[in-house]
Structure 1
């Protein structure tokens, strides 16, 4: 097949969720709520961490602020396009935009996986080596680890993208999902893709599964090293929010990427979970279980003057 044939497909058609206008309208409102909540929650965490001296100098909250930024980026890769598509009967995406979406999805997603692994190491040092915590987890090391997470995500994504763009696409062009991802796009290639699929599953599956194993091993080590029941209870309480985030993010990713390129009926629902729902839930999970973040948010609220205005309004109503 000659080179020109690789560009026969100029655009792809996304499957979406429904072709009924009333259902699409309801889904638009629902996903808009998810997206706005994601922005409000994650921006609030970033502003709180940046404005509070203690949180801003703490390695744990420095990493949390970076996680919130990644969640914003991750959600923004797919959700705005999804919201726009609810108003169109035919959900088209140009070839180049599809490849860009695929690239940034894996770039940010892999970076978040690496960052969650870094956060697990941070908790290990904080609980198992508390006297050396501030020395080991210096701002310089934290910044280096965050940069390494981004670089790791970039390398992973560029490999996936290069393997994809070298494939010929000459029809059909129906992507069986609401965004462009490796699995549904590769299925449309006009060439034998077994070896490439194997490479991609090995790449994505290895990253998600190995990172998850490292995370679980880290928390297991923490619990094993702490002998007292009270100590284990405190350690579990400290790490439970992180464990919830890890489960919500890695579970769906392992299900999607650590298996052969076959399609299941629940794939679209699982994709919604890790693309839309998890970035919205992360701020909620961390703030509800973290007294320091909640206290810092209250101080930020009071400093903004909104708390006083609300109090004055309530007093004036009597």
Structure 2
């Protein structure tokens, strides 16, 4: 591969030959083929977040892990939550510590407001400060028809994906100082929804709306609130949730003809959390491989 190809987004991650690889929710990275890239070999920090403390929900895998690694290499101590994937979480802790920063992994079900409040308290006990909150964890399932969506799964999706954002923001805003940042992960599904992901898409639209509403309030305290809307990203949720037969073609409906790797999302989260984004507030950054323009 030439140096030019390394800079060309079409060749940075040549489209792999995806094969069916069913998993149980919430999915595990160690069984994915190919293994996702979180920037382990490529992300180099430059001190953009020195002295900061970040809390990232869903930091054990996927986008959350890539953010955790990037934040640590930018100089931040990192706390993160995860649902049940102990092995993946332990790997994230190792990556943070290898970057010379302190790590805190917290296992929880974020559909409970008490659990979310408890996480913020644990972060403050451990680090005595909280500067950055990244709401990232989410659950999704695919359904062929609206009639197939059980009430309990609908409630759990909304509890986990949008209500938790309210819980975490409410608890964290009392402690994030002026100059701090909240970044919410929405999705291309908020703007181009699929009926197969109707509950997930609806929560992501709510997150986009909540992000804009919260930004107007939080900036009065000096805290910037923004969102990131990823397109298709190669994370454990994909083999664990998308319909049978869809994995081989995943991400082919983008201009780059491939899904993103988690490492390609992390720099946006770094920018939004850094002083370089001091005039960026109430924005939602799309990282969709051109999908929104097709």
TM surpasses 0.5: no
Higher helix share: 1
Structure with more relative contact order (C-alpha pairs < 8 Å, separation 6 or more): 1
Higher strand share: 2
Larger radius of gyration: 1
TM-score, length-scaled by structure 1: 0.28
